[in-house]
A and B are shown apart, each in its own frame.
Chain A
Amino acid sequence: MKKVLLLALALALALVFSVSFIFAGGAQESAADEDQFITIHWAQWAPADYLQKLSEGFTAETGIKVIVEQTPWETFVQKYNVEMIARSDAWDIIVGDSQDLGNMADSGHYVDLTKFFNDNGLKNKFTESSVAAYAEYPAKSGKYWGIPAEGDCLGWAYRKDLFEKPENAAAFKAKYGYKLDVPKNWDEMLDIAEFFHDPDNGFYGISIYGDNGYDSLVMFAEQMIWTYGGDLGDYATGQVLGILNTPESAAGLKRYKELFQFVPPAFNDAFFVKANDAFTAGIVPMTCNYYAFLPALANNATNPYADGTDYFACPPQKGADGIIRQYSALGGQGASVITYSKKKDLAMKWMEWFIRDDVQMEWARIGGYSCSKTVLDSDTFLNAAPYNPAFAESLNIMKDFWSHPDYGELMEIAARTLGNYIIRDNGTAEEALQACAEEWDAVINK
């Protein structure tokens, strides 16, 4: 009995301890109740901390506090969707995924920002592709639902030190007949990957995404499809058949598959984490990744090869029709105001503040990826980080997946059917595209 008492006592003490712990934490938050504050919802990652830091400037100017609430990426989109169905006023602003814009706008969760957009001339302030991806829905309708917050797309890091090594340069020149350099098209990309691939010595040709759990494989595939002259479909009319299942799309997908022979082992589930890990482990000469994750590669402390690392944008490719195309798959998020927010006026104040030139400049300086043209053109920005010039170039070539209300299902279908060809090695590129096109058609035109 004594032991039970002791145990119960210990448990009770721990309980009291933890409760007081929580209330101590809660006390700080409840202090905010008396002041004005807004809550911004974003995924759990470092840029959200940057945004929190940036917003201190807003608080200093207006006295309105800003709380950036972060949710793990794996559940981020799902979670805010479910909250929105419940008309929750938990957040005032969502920095939401670009593909989800259509769903959110259609369901009435986002406030129509068309007037705000036009009054401030935002169409010309931000790059064209970022406005199309993070703000405008439906495509080319002139209706706006958000502002570009974190621009992002796929870019490349490579080991300049290895490319410039005399033995490598000479051997490459002898084998392929041209100079080993940043690939100028996707044929050269394949040559370089093949050249460096040396699995017996634990070194591999290239690092690209292979995971198809969510959108990673689809992102790389769509970029290849566009670059080779294919397309995912007509975003305005919803037509897929005859647009996705074409020889051009198949050519792009085949190149993806060819590149995929030269990835390190265990890349069937590689996404941004593994892409960076492989590069910093020194087992690949180049990696494709979202720009948001490139700061890790420029950092000496986390990448032993940082000094020899340089960056480039996705290269162009001359299609079968002779036209040169260049695309980069878009990621990133736009900031939108929630219909159910009780503090829309304060949220709008934050939006007005966020689009200011000086704030956009500061946003870029502390690590955010601004889409403002002024920022992207400025020398300060271009010189601020080694990957910034490549980013500025990429922002002009980026293109997004469907922003269809059912994009989640479209994504799952593409991941499964295309992944079947790329990573599972079943069937041909044409069959994969045919399967994808038919299933997409059934979802979009049901």
Chain B
Amino acid sequence: MAEIRQYKGIKHYLVIIVLISITVIMMIPLFYIVNTSFRPWAEIKSYPPKLVYEPSIGSYIRVFTARTVYPSGTTPSDEELAAMTWYEQIVYKDTNEEVVRRGDFPKRYANSLLISITTTLLTVILGTIAAYGFSRFKVRGEGNLLFFILSTRMLPPVIVVIPVFLMYRTVGLNDSYIGLILLYTAFNVSFAVWVLKGFIDEIPREYEEAAMVDGYTRWETFRKVVLPQSVTGIAATAVFVFIFSWNEYAFAFLLTRNTAQTVPAWLPYQMGVLGYDWGAAAAGSVLFLIPAMILTILLRKHLVRGISFGAIRK
């Protein structure tokens, strides 16, 4: 008996060690991005990589600013140096550049937030209602309709983007918030309906029946009985929809120009006169990761339980 217990103990720790190793390996690329964002310009390309270096926040400042390089031979005078703000001094010290203006990053970031949050809310609302409809009522041609809804997710973005572009051009939706939000919602609602129908299928109907006997209308039943029990499914759906619209590249890249441009359509192009700014791209990536990461961490408990797709019977 003692032997068995010991064996179990070894297995237990072995599993933990394996899991920790996997996690560490999976984290290396992420760590590499963070590490790159703090490396000074020339350090990023040193090989073999120096393990010890003086970290700099210069990359973070560069992603927020537009700059010009001091023409070679000219340097700012002492008074000019003294008049510089702290971040201008860092930029000057790091890359010998002069800050011209604040960059577009905050605006792109705000666009990303606005578009992703609105898309998420809209998708979840539409998706929940439709999923409830499919789950609780016999809809004629339900199987076909559901497959049709799913199949819209199979479209390669480039096949719809030209017609969407032409259509949006006619109605003036190119480079607009509404245009991107509608598009993202349409592309995500299929996923949402699938996940949520599965989830709502699992909720016992007895509560609803009881509520309706108590005189609730259909809508009240949905709102007061079904909705609270669907929280987990809704949360999981919201995370996935948010991640998709937050990170979407193809449509954002092709359908926006300035007003509604999001971070993924802007961040990869850190092309300054000093060449490609890997540091600024890495710094922007780190900052861009944060919202999706926070959302995932906050809703992690719902994430697993919410995506059962109705494929599990309890």
The interface of chain A, by Cβ under 8 A from chain B, is 1, 3-4, 7-8, 11, 14-15, 17-19, 21-22, 25, 44-47, 49-50, 52-53, 69, 71-75, 79, 82-83, 86, 90, 202, 272-273, 276-277, 280-281, 292-293, 295-296, 298-304, 365-367, 384-386
Whether the Cβ atoms of A11 and B117 lie closer than 8 Å is yes
Chain A residues contacting B257 (CB-CB under 8 Å) are: 69, 71, 79, 83, 90
Whether the Cβ atoms of A202 and B47 lie closer than 8 Å is yes
In the bound assembly, the distance between CA atoms of A80 and B94 in angstroms comes to: 35
- B34 located at the interface, meaning its Cβ lies under 8 Å from any Cβ of chain A in the complex: no
Chain A residues contacting B94 (CB-CB under 8 Å) are: 301
CB distance from B93 to the nearest CB of A (A): 8
CB distance from B305 to the nearest CB of A (A): 13
CB distance from A18 to the nearest CB of B (A): 4
- B169 located at the interface, meaning its Cβ lies under 8 Å from any Cβ of chain A in the complex: yes
Whether the Cβ atoms of A281 and B46 lie closer than 8 Å is yes
Whether the Cβ atoms of A46 and B273 lie closer than 8 Å is yes
Whether the Cβ atoms of A301 and B96 lie closer than 8 Å is yes
Whether the Cβ atoms of B111 and A277 lie closer than 8 Å is no
Q: Hey, what's the 0/1 contact readout for B78-105 against A, CB within 8 Å counting as 1?
A: 0000000000000001111100110000
Whether the Cβ atoms of B231 and A296 lie closer than 8 Å is no
Chain B residues contacting A301 (CB-CB under 8 Å) are: 41-42, 93-97
Can you report 20 residue pairs joining A to B where beta carbons are below 8 Å apart? A1-B228, A1-B231, A21-B106, A22-B114, A46-B274, A53-B68, A53-B100, A73-B271, A86-B169, A202-B47, A276-B275, A277-B45, A281-B46, A293-B273, A296-B274, A299-B96, A301-B94, A365-B71, A366-B68, A367-B273
Chain B residues contacting A384 (CB-CB under 8 Å) are: 71, 73
CB distance from A137 to the nearest CB of B (A): 26
Whether the Cβ atoms of B235 and A7 lie closer than 8 Å is yes
B47's contact among A50, A281, A303, A385, by CB below 8 Å, is which?
A281
Chain B residues contacting A4 (CB-CB under 8 Å) are: 227-228, 231, 234
- B183 located at the interface, meaning its Cβ lies under 8 Å from any Cβ of chain A in the complex: no
In the bound assembly, the distance between CA atoms of A3 and B230 in angstroms comes to: 12
Chain A residues contacting B276 (CB-CB under 8 Å) are: 273, 276-277
Chain A residues contacting B107 (CB-CB under 8 Å) are: 22, 25
In the bound assembly, the distance between CA atoms of A281 and B120 in angstroms comes to: 44
B96's contact among A25, A75, A300, by CB below 8 Å, is which?
A300
Chain B residues contacting A11 (CB-CB under 8 Å) are: 117, 120-121
CB distance from B255 to the nearest CB of A (A): 10
CB distance from B207 to the nearest CB of A (A): 14
If A49-B100, A86-B169, A273-B275 touch, does A15 touch B118 (CB 8 Å cutoff)? Answer: yes
In the bound assembly, the distance between CA atoms of A301 and B235 in angstroms comes to: 48
Whether the Cβ atoms of B120 and A295 lie closer than 8 Å is no
Whether the Cβ atoms of B42 and A280 lie closer than 8 Å is yes
Specify the chain B residue showing the minimal Cβ separation from A4.
Answer: B231
